Amino acid sequence: MGSRWGINRTVGQIYALLYISGRPLPADEIAEALSFSRSNVSMGLKELQSWRLVRLQHLPGDRREHFSTPEDVWQIVRILAEERRRREIDPTLSVLRDLLLKKPGNEDERAIQHRLQEMHDLIELLTRWSEDVQRLETQQLTQILRLGAGIIRLLDLKNSLPLLGAKRRPAQSPPGDSTPDEAALAGEGMDDD
């Protein structure tokens, strides 16, 4: 599956092996287990490290470098989302913004900018959201996800009782977290897809 994901088959296999093995493995064991050349494994591990998806460890009494994946699956999701954002989304947004700063020369260009603006706002909104919720504790995160579309009932509840929303303690939200709600207008961010 990884092959459709910007990471190649070999690298995916190495990662999968580390994930299911559940213990740190040295490069030569990986090469043997998967029948890859030693150099191929070396490069694959390099790439995984650049994605922060594997950690290098030294085991006592063994000179070789050992590699392992994070224990917690949610940690994996967080890292992946962050790295993709950094590598793919942010540069895209930056290009879009540059284009949006130019003065449109005519009606066509204005229309094009409008479309780009919509795409930009969409991406920004999705990214912001994902940044935001990824900072939550795993436990809170799963609670939200389990709720699914049921979340909308909570929103209805809040809308029907605006008084409550206004007078509650603000201490609960994470630090860098603004209080957008209906205020914010242009989104900023994009998850994957």
Determine, following the binding rule CB under 7 A, whether residue 39 of this chain makes contact with DNA: yes
Min dist. Cβ of residue 63 to a copy of itself (A): 26
Site for a copy of itself in 98-127 (CB under 8 A): 111-112, 115-116, 118-119, 122, 125-126
Pick from a copy of itself, DNA, none: which does 102 bind, CB < 5 to 8 A by kind? Answer: none
Q: How far, in Å, CA of 156 to CA of 170, rounded?
A: 20
- What Rg, from alpha-carbon coordinates, does the chain have? 22
Q: Give the angle 165-167-172 at the CA atoms, nearest 5°.
A: 75
Answer yes or no: are the C-beta atoms of 14 and 28 closer than 8 Å: no
Give one DSSP letter per residue of 103-134, joined into a string. PP-SHHHHHHHHHHHHHHHHHHHHHHHHHHHH
Residues that bind DNA (CB under 7 A): 3, 8-11, 26-28, 35-40, 42-46, 62-65
Residues that bind a copy of itself (CB under 8 A): 1, 4-6, 19-22, 73-74, 77, 80-81, 84, 88, 91-92, 111-112, 115-116, 118-119, 122, 125-126, 128-129, 132-133, 135-136, 140, 142-158, 164-165, 168, 172-174, 177-182, 184, 187, 191-193
